[in-house]
Amino acid sequence: MGGGEPLGAALADRLAEQWHRAGVTHVRRAANLTELATLVDAATGPVIVSGTDLVAHTAVLRHLATSPVGPTVALVLTDPPAPGQAVVREERGQVVDAGPDGRLDGGQTGVFGGALRVGRDDLPALAAAARAAVAGTPIAGTDPAAVAATPPAAGPEAAGSAVDRLFTGLTALGTLTFAHRVRLLVAHRVAGPAGLAAAEAAVAAVDEDRAELRLSVKEKDDFFTTFFVSTWSPYVTKASAKLGLTPTGVTAISVLFAAVAAVLFGVGGRPALVAGAVLLYLGFVLDCVDGQLARYTRHFSAWGGWLDTMADRAKEYLVYAGLGYGATAAGFRYGWALAVAAMTLQTVRHMTDTWYGVLHDEAARRPKAVGGGGGGIGDRLNAASTRVQADTGSLSYWLKRTVVFPIGERWALIALTVALFGPLVSLVAVLTWGVLAFAYTGALRTLRARWMWVPVLDTVDATLHRDDGPIAARFPVLRPMGPLTLAVLGALGPAALLAAAGLRVRAGDEAGGLAWAVPVALLVLLVAALGAGAAHNGPLDWLVPAALRAGEYLFAIAAGLVGGAPAWVVFGYVFVLTLHHYDLTARLEKRQAAPPLHGATLGWEGRSAVLAVAAFAGFAGIAMATLGAYLLVVFVGSVVLAWVVLPARARRGVGVPAGGEVRQPG
């Protein structure tokens, strides 16, 4: 669209052609914001809006059009702002404020690049922002519907670039907008012939394909991945693209490598262990390549993102199974127990990681709600973390990224320890570092979360993410204690039962003598259901899902131990539970709806009740295997319905409107 561009129609025509090459299906030239609002009203898909003063590689436009970070994304540059251009302030990749140069009091982190993609759900806000800019009305905190009903003011539009005023208004309406930064490629907004010539020269000087390949690598990754994978994985990425492999195909090969490594770890013997370690490393390289290939070829999909998340966890836990079997076969009695412990610990850690990320994103969207601690310890921790993250490449930066035990470091530790020492040492090393990392991150995040005081579980379907079933829905609400306190108290019963059963086994007694304690532990666990109907708006309630996962897993392990279930059956059952719960977190991260068959999973309390009856009656192994198989069938059924059947039905049932659309492909 136009709006103060002095370089004429030639630049606008070239930009329109670039948008076509970037994959935008329909390009329209809007003479003013009023016409733009009319076009947006008729749109049925994502809309890209840009000024005509932008000079950039076509790849930059394609990256903006296909960015997977969110439905609404704005181009953000590091150039100094020109008169009339909007500056932005970002936190965690989100634009939290925008306005004319000077309004942010030096807090800006970049300048608006004159182009943004707006998701379908945000189109009413876009039209409202356009009409408000025409009317000259302030719109901060204004309902988009009220703005849309406001008649345009007489006279010319306010001074300044139309696209900048539009973007500022959209931000003021509270639209969640992600920032798209330009790395290695070039993009500039130009204001005259000299600027145009300089920008065109800069664009021409870049080897676009080489830059695209380097851009496929994450800008900030963990130490092991950065120095031992990403230094050569782009070559594998380019070879994969030439061979016509898809990101999903690379993911499948990565899973195969990890599965074979797990088998070799179970077989044992130094040659098998070393070969397994090599395959594990190569599998992790491919795990990085699938994402790099998606970015290099711009083949993104919700299915691919979901599959990548699920495959990562499935691979890791298959490796734990191989290590557990290998340690047991080598003569260590508790090999499977260590494998179950490693899987449980890692899953609970991931639950806290996921929800803390949601908490931090919500805090970034509501910066005024943050900092209420008045310079307390949370404020100091937040400032220290920001400084360390900004000091890219420093010793403190790499220590912070490594101490939390990310996936690259986990796989490197497993590969090294199993090749040099064996499965037992590998499991012990993973558990030791995992516990220390959990204690470190848990303590710091708790302090920072109390300082932020930003609730997140009340912004989503808490019943879904608690994984409550029909029994919990019928429990009364015990409001004064809060859902987190109740969830932690509930987990103490299974923890005590598991500890007692473990001590009896270690002493040479039968754990079956504690069958009477299983119903008692279940009653304690069900205390957590008393918080199901309470408001989850406390500063630490983001920990509720992790506490509930810990309670259910501990109870399942304890029931299996008391009921005499084989250790591998217990591992398999907990593994299926982790798939179910990772499905929920992956859908949360990808903004997907609930699994279609979620209601058939019985809920954490229903599954625990079934296991309690089985353990008390003495057939825990059969019940655990049967319930696990049932949950696996439900999980696979949900996957098929969600990603195959329902999308096919939607495609058959949606007509294609004729004309009037301003959008890019979904």
pLDDT digits (tens, 9 = 90+) for 110-134: 999 999 999 999 999 999 999 998 8
Q: What is the mean pLDDT of residues 403-408?
A: 95
Q: Name which of 554, 546, 549, 590 is nearest 445 in CA terms.
A: 546
Answer whether residue 393 shows pLDDT above 70: yes
Predicted structure pTM score: 0.89
172 touches 139 (CB < 8 A): yes
Please give the class, per CATH, of domain 7-140+159-206.
Answer: alpha beta
According to DSSP, the residues that pair with 89 across neighbouring strands are 97
For the ranges 31-40, 360-369, 446-455, 563-572, which has the lowest average pLDDT? 360-369
Query: Do 458-647 and 7-140+159-206 fall under one CATH topology?
Result: no
DSSP assigned state of 531: G
Q: What is the mean pLDDT of residues 227-256?
A: 96
Answer whether residue 378 shows pLDDT above 70: no
> In the structure, what pLDDT confidence band is assigned to residue 364 with cuts at 50, 70 and 90?
confident
- Write down the pLDDT at residue 161: 82
Q: Map out the domains of the chain as residue ranges.
A: 7-140+159-206, 458-647
Neighbours of 394 (CB within 10 A): 12
Answer whether residue 158 shows pLDDT above 80: no
DSSP assigned state of 274: H
Q: What is the mean pLDDT of residues 203-209?
A: 92
Query: For residue range 519-577, what is the model confidence (pLDDT) as tens digits?
Result: 999 999 999 999 999 999 999 999 999 999 999 999 999 999 999 999 999 999 999 99
Answer whether residue 150 shows pLDDT above 50: no
**Rounded-to-integer distance, Cα 151 and Cα 162, Å:** 18
Task: Name the residue with tokens 């069900």.
Answer: 526
Q: Name which of 471, 478, 487 is nearest 541 in CA terms.
A: 487
> In the structure, what pLDDT confidence band is assigned to residue 139 with cuts at 50, 70 and 90?
low
**Rounded-to-integer distance, Cα 403 and Cα 382, Å:** 17
Neighbours of 105 (CB within 10 A): 7
**Rounded-to-integer distance, Cα 5 and Cα 24, Å:** 22
Q: What is the mean pLDDT of residues 189-200?
A: 89
Q: What is the mean pLDDT of residues 631-645?
A: 95
Percent of the chain with pLDDT over 90: 67
Structurally, what CATH architecture does the domain formed by 458-647 represent?
Up-down Bundle (1.20)
> In the structure, what pLDDT confidence band is assigned to residue 665 with cuts at 50, 70 and 90?
very low
1 touches 50 (CB < 8 A): yes
Element (H, E) at 470: helix 470-473
- Write down the pLDDT at residue 233: 96
